[in-house]
Amino acid sequence: MKSLPTPEISLPPTTTFNQDAQQARAGALHLHGLLAHWGEVINESWVTTLLGWEEQERARRSLERRLGTARIGRFKPLCDFDWGWPQRCDRAAIEALMTLDFLDDATNVVLAGPNGVGKSMLAQNIANQALIAGHTVLFASAGQLLGDLCALDSDAALRRRLRYYARPKLLVIDEVGYLSYSNRHADLMFELISRRYQKNSTIITTNRPFAEWREVFPNAACVVSLVDRLLHNAEIIAIEGKSYRLKEAQEQTERRAAKRRGGKA
């Protein structure tokens, strides 16, 4: 039987495409010396390896730099969180936040609940995930942030500092409600939330329902407007339960007592 002729297959010009892609990568990395001699090295196999090394190292250094400036601090990873301890905690909502979709439309997040139920730890995990994804992040307690802003003694310095806090893609303001603040603090909080409004996402952790925020900012005229601006495009996740930190402290005390009893035996 006569064999059929093998059809000719026209391959796309992948070589040219790859060379253009490699050159674009070198340009994005600002490797001007390499680009100046591109025609001499274009077919060298080490070029791809070099570009990969440079991209990986720059990504590592970028993450390291952003981790330093984000000030997230040490935290327990989400995989170690005891989901069975809180009496109420929407796990699906937390896991959805870890996908970072809320950053796309500048949605705010409020984690509300009593002391010790894991609000800060959850916020730290979300912030860390945003960092790994390449976003700019800043984590600060309400006391640190408002104290920093109030300490500035010139309008120019205050404007610069407000820009500093307004700039990150994700700002976490931790522990709102643990202290009471003056009208000046309230005005600065309102100014900051207004600057970030519908531009960048803010996560708030608080141990107070919003009805009690007048006690956090007593006599401040802007409290209603502050809450309204914060919640207009926000997801509120309530966490209920006893303090996990107290549970761990009690367990540690029991272990030490058992160890002492065993030593005496």
259, pLDDT greater than 90: no
Type of residue numbered 114: P
Task: State the DSSP H helix or E strand holding residue 196, giving kind and residue range, or none if neither.
Answer: helix 183-196
The confidence score (pLDDT) of residue 19 equals 80
- Tell me, which fold does domain 88-246 have in CATH? Rossmann fold (3.40.50)
Q: Tell me the pLDDT tens digit for each residue of 209-224.
A: 999 999 999 988 899 9
Over the chain, what is the mean pLDDT? 87
Q: pLDDT of 51-94, one tens digit each? A: 888 878 887 777 777 777 888 988 999 999 989 888 899 999 99
Domain-by-domain residue ranges, the chain?
88-246
pLDDT in tens, 9-49: 333 443 555 888 888 888 888 888 888 888 888 888 888 88
Torsion sign over Cα 78, 80, 86, 88: positive
User: What are the Cα distances from residue 122, in Å, to 31, 91, 210?
Assistant: 40, 11, 20
pLDDT digit string, tens, across residues 94-107: 999 999 999 999 99
pLDDT (0 to 100) of residue 263 = 64
Say which amino acid occupies 202: T
